[in-house]
Structure 1
Amino acid sequence: MSEGAFLYIVRCADSSLYTGTTRGSLDMRIAQHNDGTFEGYTSTRRPVVLVYSEWFERITDAIACERKLKKWSRAKKEALIQGDMDALHVLSKRRTPFGA
């Protein structure tokens, strides 16, 4: 497990979503969010609840996916969390013609 990393999404106390990655134990990382170990987004929005996680063999892949998800709409993130791939596909379609 030392080469890879988890991508995760937590739901904060204010219902906002936070996306992150960790090389270490996922349980430990969620506990750190809830303890306020690190300053940042979740430190003022505790407690947090893990709602999605995915293991990547390479940390670079986890980080790339994290960056992609951080640009997604809330609706797309919620579809991913629910495992609703049909809704995710619909939400991923371009809303305006290319070049418009």
Structure 2
Amino acid sequence: MDSYYFYVLLCADGTFYGGYSTDVPARVATHNAGKGAKYTKTRRPVRLLYQEAFTNEHDALSAEWHFKHQSRKAKEAFLDGKDVKWR
């Protein structure tokens, strides 16, 4: 069974980046190599804060979309609710 992941990175400038992948460690390495997303390219290094597995791609992409469309305060509350140490 394949797994699909929603993940959250902490960028060097203190911003959050939400993404989707089937291989989170490889994707984080790609971000840190400057080949990930345009957003993270200039905000390296990035650090993985959170990842969540889903059984289907739709749900993982939906989690990514919802995270990206929240305010900074809501993103912080989401991470705090998951007991993620990001501060």
Q: Where on the TM-score scale, by shorter chain, does this alignment land: which range?
A: 0.7 to 0.9
Greater gyration radius: 1
For residue 44 of structure 2, what is the aligned residue in structure 1? Answer: 46
Give secondary structure in 2 for the equivalent of 1:32: helix
For residue 73 of structure 2, what is the aligned residue in structure 1? Answer: 75
Q: TM-score, normalised by structure 2?
A: 0.85
RMSD: 1.7
Identity %: 40
Unmatched 5+ stretches in structure 1? 86-100
For residue 9 of structure 1, what is the aligned residue in structure 2? Answer: 8
Answer yes or no: is the 8 Å Cα contact 2:4–2:56 preserved in 1. Answer: yes
For residue 37 of structure 1, what is the aligned residue in structure 2? Answer: 35
1:84 Cα shift?
Answer: 5.9
Matched residue pairs, number? 83
Counterpart AA for 1:20: G
In 2: Cα distance, 1:73 partner to 1:80 partner: 11
For residue 19 of structure 1, what is the aligned residue in structure 2? Answer: 18
Unmatched 5+ stretches in structure 2? none
Counterpart AA for 1:43: K
Structure 1, 29-38 or 43-52: larger mean CA deviation: 29-38
Q: Which of 49, 55, 58 matches 1:57?
A: 55
Answer yes or no: is the 8 Å Cα contact 2:17–2:40 preserved in 1. Answer: yes
Residue deviations 1:2-38 (CA, integer Å, cap 9, x gap):
2x311001010000111000012x1111111101123
